[in-house]
Structure 1
């Protein structure tokens, strides 16, 4: 009788709540799933919920996108929990330090990280409504955090495109235009970055703003909602191998608990699904792995559909997949996950505490040294992740040397950065810093190497000993700072080693300050300077009315230390009037966009110019490229892509004339294939004879046979010619992230970076057959042609914006190669 009365009371309460707030369909004016909802209307609905149920919904705006759309989060829970939200958060974070054992579960649901995986945001609205009404009992011991749209710019790009191109009524024929997005598709953000690869690198404004809030909560469970191909059934946890070795037994097992609960609901409906395939837990920058390495049960949920699906589409087996279907599936797994969390609050809190207390890894400390600017850049990233670091004492360290791959000993000083795994974020530190990632399976969904010392161009030792951090706070004096400049100097000299120097150069050019650079090492006033050093003379800038004050302001802004000299006469090297000290030109730069280029690499270049180098660039679309007068530009960048027959005879002739007359082409990855073998371009693909197969693999083994011919994002040590302008600022080696097996022969002259014989990855996976193909091949090279140059970049130095040590090669290509 009591149970019946409770059920009646609960039903009456749910009906009353439902009358206070509107369902998504009621609020939007159309049945959810029959149309796509633009982002501003989604925000309106969440504001409606927060206004009409303020005791159970708290809404915050945590940032804005590049296109000025708001990024919002909704906290939804019981009235009591919402009124004590900050106390719940503090108790949860204190649990990471072993101070408390809270009683609430924290679940974070992230939707629409890929803009054209559009069902996610629609589902978020129905999910929060259900939690406030029929499923409100889940919230008694659970705080649910909902990010309805991680990528508003990409989502609205897709939704707007779909409305402009759909049939009326919508057409399920997969050949119809509404199922074929154009080149600028809705998946990435404004700068065409994949935000689901940016959790660790934080190159994008959406990621940078989100991580601040995420670190304030560090949820027990995080779900990243996605879509995959139209013909695929639903995927949910447990994930596929490889799992990173830091993933705990509890995290593995609890994924199964959640997966079985999801399966229970799918089985009841007869819905198809799969687990333990394709989507692994290795690469640290996903929306499932990054949370996992920070203590969560991190999971990807994948619904069939994505940008091709529209409102409905016919699948390959003749079924019709509708947006309503897709919403139902994501709604079910979302609610199922919250349900499991609400039933396991004590266990989740107990294991969450253990995760942060058991950082017993092989390497206890990572000791880094190198250019102060690069240390600063790495320190900035670590701070965003709230990973602690400090500075060593005058002592020594023994451990694995990243450069040699051997165990060595080195002296330490206060100039050495120390990152320890003995801290709350120790697991994340280990994952980002480790020299080699252990692979339980070589079949992976993304790159297999990303170690930050290699990415930032720093020397490092991984030590099995916990290195003591000195009492000195090195941050106040470790980075270059500027003094007031003398007004009557002959010249001012700056080093050339990092992106900080590159941004300094960029701003000087924009302020019409003329700069020279050194093609040879030199010594002045007893101080040695390397190739590429910037030389800013008073004579070159005699017509600049505010020369010294402007130079001083720019140097202070970028924290560049300038060395003043009273003479252009050097003690060693070439005097400043030598032809070996040429002027850097104010280059007008263009990038090719549209088909046939890769949206992702075009976006990397675009973002690099506008958000990292801060230098103007012109975007030329392939649709009108043929009508552009290339002579108006000094540099033309051809991003990675699938060029096929794009360069016909006419376009090739135009390219050749552009270079002959002094233009510069930077051809990257797939663009090289588009011009290799063509008359006027010396680059040649490397061809090797393959052994014939004596035994054909079984069908089940074919995938593993295939990966013998692949390189899945592995780090290689390359040989560098540091005397070439393309390599100014680099030593005689460079650690390159190789993303495939594209192989080109070294140039007769101008091979600046290349793989030597018997090269193998220092970290990551490379198939045995692919390794044979890339031996003694070009990585970066320059071909002189007439008055101009063609610069070949077989590997991508701007990959996802995080391979910091490759960026100076790209800047050198723009300004130093002449």
Structure 2
């Protein structure tokens, strides 16, 4: 009955004069400051607000209010502005640089300030990281208006005692995708039927950014400009409290922290964070939501184990990250089991929590400042106690991959030093807990069911061969990426150039030269050549650019090769003879020309957009190679003969027999099909390939043990592989593994696709090691019965073509530099695979 009464009040709020539904208690308001309703021409909750209008409104506030200033901290892939509105008292705003300096002293473990109550508390309200969870950005507008225009004693106290940073839309590209959808299908009168188009977006939906990345997983990995811009801002300000506003299923209610217990056995964040501070703030949120009659829950789900969320990364920076989840109206009004939920109702809950966060932070600023100070001091103290004094890593074969890893360390303000050919990361530094996050691995866990990954040792993402050190020779501190990769300028040749294929950027250089019309060959065997720089060894996959065999003259070839080196910083060598010092010569049959990939990828309903976006992002941003994205709905009439490579990522492919035959016939003509995850399972199940999955038959004679019904989610959930890191044994002589020098590499597994090794003894490229575990949770059953016997990567012959089957995603979250090469080799070297019968 209470909820129905609230909904009745909510319906009244849809008139233009009823915005007091949100903030009546904070009157009086400065009439010179326009409300969102006055600026937009509609009341908050009546429509979904475009991101450009959000930015324009906050810009207007910064112009007319002496409490606010606005800054742009980045641009999205699609060019939308990323902004933060800073709001505090006029006096604080004028002295913000001084307050910032005083604030940062609490993050410096070498200093001991004690003026905990004197410095305003720094609060970052972050909204709308998932674009189709839109209520929070609308709440951001209301919050900004309240803080800039209200003259109530309560608000005046908050802006005097606090500095509030409002990030209104963390994912503008995704938000606008959803905003367009919701407004386009909005009815008049509103349609509450859950089956209406307004409540059911088309693929890929608005959750993700331009490349379909989940930005709420990107704080640690820092792949996208939205995250990199925010991280740069974050490490300039180190806010004490950070909010992360979300939406969840329509049938739910409202969630705030504390969360479910952290899954790690010994979480690296202090217990004071996830126990004391969470409970302290939880009391505030419960009282505020009780006062407006909203129902909620805590502790049951969502865990902060993975450190890359917007609500967990701040916990590793001396702040308090806070997660909120609001049941979504997925449009403007929708029917639920409790009646109807409307957009204004969802906005009010988020707005209430925003103001309450500020209230709790201001009233406990001394506690929060002491906590942040102790956080960095305890990090240094913990580092002093550990036997490991640092980590060293290097890979002389692949300096661009090392550079990418160093970039990630510097992005998180981790101190890095260069000593000879090695890099050193000391543990005793303010970012000690981030060092742990990058390098430490774990076998034991408190929990077995995770909201996300149970492994995130980022060094393994980059296939870094690192080792702990008990004594350090630091060398010179690395402060930028400049000069980390050094290449020797090449001289002109009338004969040939050789590109070292071990470098991560070699594929991009290959694509560049192919796109300019050069014919490039690949070596299937190692050799040693006499270059103009001296004797040089080349491994599997070395690229040869024969000058006399090109359609361009020697000067044009030289200019293109030189441009490729300058653009991608890859090692390229000049040779004037095809006679090698050791191994095969440059005219060997083991060195053959490569076909330029003409690639397509199936996208659309049923396809996992994350994985498709990772492929698209990799090719767009690192290789600079186009890939045609064919929607499932168009596949029946698509002309596959235009392509020589087709990518199918994880998903449920509901193809007809005719469409399956279409793929099979196309591959048989000599083309390459690349499947990832459940697409590989689909290829096996549909008998597209003569391969098998590892399956264990249930013993029907075994007695079934009775279990408590309430434990079913936990019992069944732990059998899934949520995300862990394992070792595979790699055949580095296979074209798919060209560029690798170590037969053991880490891979990431987050599915239950168990490929049986191929019956063809030459076709299993990567198989899980005898002792495969590196990091993350997996049950003993999954480890022994499924993982250890299975393969991670196999190739299966189909007519004159081949199917490359990845059990695991080599491009996970755009971060797996260590396995990207396997996928790129499948694209560029697929036709070099000769499957021996």
Q: TM-score, normalised by structure 2?
A: 0.90
Provide the rounded CA distance (Å) in 1 between the counterparts of 2:723 and 2:369. 36
2:55 is the counterpart of 1:28: no
Contact 1:372 1:478 (C-alpha < 8 Å) held by counterparts: no
Deviation at 1:131, TM superposition (A): 2.2
Partner of 1:276: 299
Aligned equivalents of 2:359, 2:95: Cα separation in 1: 21
1:702 pairs with 2:712: yes
List per-residue Cα deviations over 1:70-90 (Å, max 9, x = no partner).
Answer: 111100011111111121122
Q: Report if aligned partners of 2:524, 2:735 keep a CA contact under 8 Å in 1.
A: yes
Task: Give the one of 372, 375, 391 matched to 2:418.
Answer: 391
Residues 263-318 of structure 1 show CA distances to partners (whole Å, capped at 9, x for unaligned) of 1112233321111121111112110111111111011111111xx62111111x23
Structure 2 counterpart of 1:79: 90
Residue 318 (1) aligns with residue 330 (2): no
2:138 is aligned, of 107, 119, 122, to 122
Could you tell me how far apart the structure 2 residues matched to 1:658 and 1:489 are?
A: 40
Mapping of residues 638-657 of structure 1, within 5 Å: 638-643=648-653, 645-646=654-655, 648-657=656-665
**Secondary structure of the structure 1 residue equivalent to 2:31:** helix
- Specify the SS of the correspondent of 2:326: strand
2:783 matched to 1:773? Answer: no
CA positional deviation for 1:489: 4.9
Q: Is the 8 A contact 2:767 2:793 kept in 1?
A: no
**Counterpart for residue 504 of structure 1:** 509
User: Which residue matches 1:409?
Assistant: none
1:728/1:757 Cα in 2 relative to 1: closer, same or farther (>3 Å)?
closer
Q: Which moved more, 1:94-103 or 1:760-769?
A: 94-103
The aligned counterpart of 1:341 is 361
Q: Does 1:88 align with 2:104?
A: no
Native 8 Å contact 2:736 2:765 kept in 1: no
Match of 2:628 in 1: 618
TM-aligned CA deviation for residue 365 of structure 1: 1.0
- Report the alpha carbon displacement of residue 319 of structure 1 after superposing the two structures with TM: 1.9
| CA positional deviation for 1:474 | 11
Number of the residue aligned with 1:287: 310
Verify the 8 A CA contact 2:415 2:477 in the aligned structure 1: no
Structure 1 residue 472: Cα displacement? 7.7
**Residue among 207, 223, 232 paired with 1:203:** 223
C-alpha offsets along residues 49-87 of structure 1, whole Å, 9 cap, x if unaligned? 11110x201111222222222111100011111111121
Structure 1 residue 680 displacement after superposition: 4.3
The equivalent of 1:447 in structure 2 is 453
Q: Identify the residue that residue 64 of structure 1 maps to in structure 2.
A: 75
Does the residue aligned with 1:792 lie in a helix, a strand or coil?
Answer: strand
Q: Secondary structure at the match of 1:624?
A: helix
Aligned counterpart, 1:261: 284
Deviation sequence 1:136-168 (CA, Å, 0-9, x none): 321111100000001111111101111222322
> C-alpha deviations, 1:703-752, integer Å up to 9, x for none?
23213422121111111111110011222122111102211211122444
Spell out, residue by residue over 1:515-555, the C-alpha distance to the aligned partner (whole angstroms, 9 max, x if none).
11110111223432110111112123352451112211221
Pair 1:249-2:271 in alignment = yes
For residues 39 and 824 of structure 2, the distance between their equivalents in structure 1, rounded to whole angstroms, comes to 51
CA contact (8 A) 1:754 1:780 kept: yes
User: How many Å apart are 1:105 and its aligned residue?
Assistant: 0.6
Moved over 4 A (4+): 13-17, 471-480, 756-760
Residue 754 (structure 2) pairs with residue 743 (structure 1): yes
**CA contact 1:280–1:445 (8 Å) conserved in 2:** yes
1:465-476 to 2 correspondences below 5 Å? 465=470, 467-471=472-476
Distance 2:443 2:472 in 1: 22
Judge conservation of contact 2:689–2:797 (CA < 8 Å) in 1.
no
Contact map agreement 1:389 1:419 (CA 8 A) in 2:
yes
Q: How many residues align?
A: 780
Q: Which runs of 5+ in 1 are unaligned?
A: 1-10, 393-413
**Match of 1:578, SS?**
coil
The Cα of 1:227 is off from its aligned counterpart by: 0.5
**Given the alignment, which residue of 681, 690, 695 partners 2:698?**
690
Deviation at 1:221, TM superposition (A): 0.5
2:538 aligned residue: 529
Q: Is this contact kept in 2: 1:724–1:752, CA < 8 A?
A: no
Distance change in 2, residues 1:85/1:673 (3 Å): same
Ranges in structure 2 where 5+ consecutive residues have no aligned partner: 1-22, 832-837
Determine if the alignment matches structure 1 residue 225 to structure 2 residue 236.
no
Q: Which residue of 2 aligns with 1:602?
A: 612
TM-aligned CA distance change 1:20 to 1:419, over 3 Å: same
Secondary structure of the residue aligned to 2:310 is coil
Alignment check: 8 A CA contact 2:731 2:743 kept? yes
* Correspondence 1:801-816 to 2 at 5 A: 801-816=814-829
Structure 1: distance between partners of 2:612 and 2:769: 32
Q: Structure 2 vs 1, CA of residues 440 and 567 (structure 1 numbering), >3 Å: closer, same or farther? A: same
TM-score, L = length of structure 1: 0.92
Secondary structure of the structure 2 residue equivalent to 1:532: coil
